[in-house]
Amino acid sequence: MKFLITAGPTRERVDPVRFISNRSSGKMGYALAEMAYKFGHEVCLITGPVNLKTPDGIEMVYVESAEDMYNAVRDNIEDCDCLIMAAAVADWKPEECNPSKLKKDSFDGVLKLKRTKDILLEIKEFKKDRVFVGFAAETDDLIKNAINKLETKGLDFIVANDVTQPGAGFGVDTNIVTIFDSQGGVTELPRINKADVAKKIIEKIVEFRT
């Protein structure tokens, strides 16, 4: 199979030196890419700014903003059999990027924001027979929010985690996830290494595909 995987955060520029982002380290997305490649699949990894080693044997696409990531996914979606959206894409961005550094004594403290593209919704029309996998990092109503995302975005799988749980948040090497599928299946995984989580996800995708 050909996997298209996104990883890491996006950065939405406020001015030449500041940006809005989130705490994603990219570790889960990179673990998925490495595991898919280890299983013998072809992998294209679209990554936001991270501090991780570039995986061997994997096609890399580097992006910064949500718009960049959308364009990269759109450019590569037709060549893939499976899309895994593991990136933590920023939901908002400044209405305008100031061309020069905002000065403390002249900035009124009000930053107007607008929504970024919802990548999975934007490319829903390209799903066809491809496997689409999303992630849901939640702090409350985990099951409700995950299933809503699974259904509204037409996904085959949604991988949900409560980021308030120790060992399941951003920047750590472990995760605690529940995998919901479009057939009503639920798989709960205990706190395990992200590589092991990735292995389980890839196995479920391959099983679903065959």
pLDDT digits (tens, 9 = 90+) for 175-184: 999 999 999 9
Quick one: DSSP state of residue 88?
Answer: B
Residue 39, classed as helix, strand or coil, is: coil
Can you tell me the distance from the alpha carbon of 27 to that of 178, in angstroms, rounded to the nearest whole number?
18
How much is the average pLDDT of 12-23?
96
> Hey, what are 62's tokens?
């580097």
Q: Partners of 94 in the beta sheet? A: 113
Sketch the domain layout of the chain as residue ranges: 2-95+112-209
| Side-chain-side CA neighbours of residue 117 (13 Å) | 17
Percent of the chain with pLDDT over 90: 94
How much is the average pLDDT of 12-16?
96
How much is the average pLDDT of 40-68?
97
DSSP run (H or E) holding 7: strand 2-7
177 close to 197: Cβ distance less than 8 angstroms: yes
pLDDT reported for residue 178: 96
Binned at pLDDT 50, 70 and 90, residue 127 comes out as: very high
Nearest CA to 67 out of 106, 112, 137, 117 is that of 117
Q: Is the pLDDT of residue 196 over 90?
A: yes
How much is the average pLDDT of 31-60?
97
Binned at pLDDT 50, 70 and 90, residue 162 comes out as: very high
Binned at pLDDT 50, 70 and 90, residue 116 comes out as: very high
Report the side by side order of strands in the sheet with 82-85.
59-62, 42-47, 2-7, 82-85, 131-138, 157-162, 178-181, 186-188
| Bridging pattern class, strands 82-85 and 18-20 | unpaired
* Domain 2-95+112-209 in CATH 3.40.50.10300: yes
Can you tell me the distance from the alpha carbon of 16 to that of 209, in angstroms, rounded to the nearest whole number?
44
Catalytic, 161? Answer: no
> Hey, what are 190's tokens?
């205990």
Measured over the CA atoms of residue 46, residue 11, residue 116 and residue 143, the dihedral's sign is positive
How much is the average pLDDT of 185-201?
97
Mean pLDDT of the chain: 95
> Hey, what are 133's tokens?
């996998």
Residue 18, classed as helix, strand or coil, is: strand
pLDDT reported for residue 170: 87
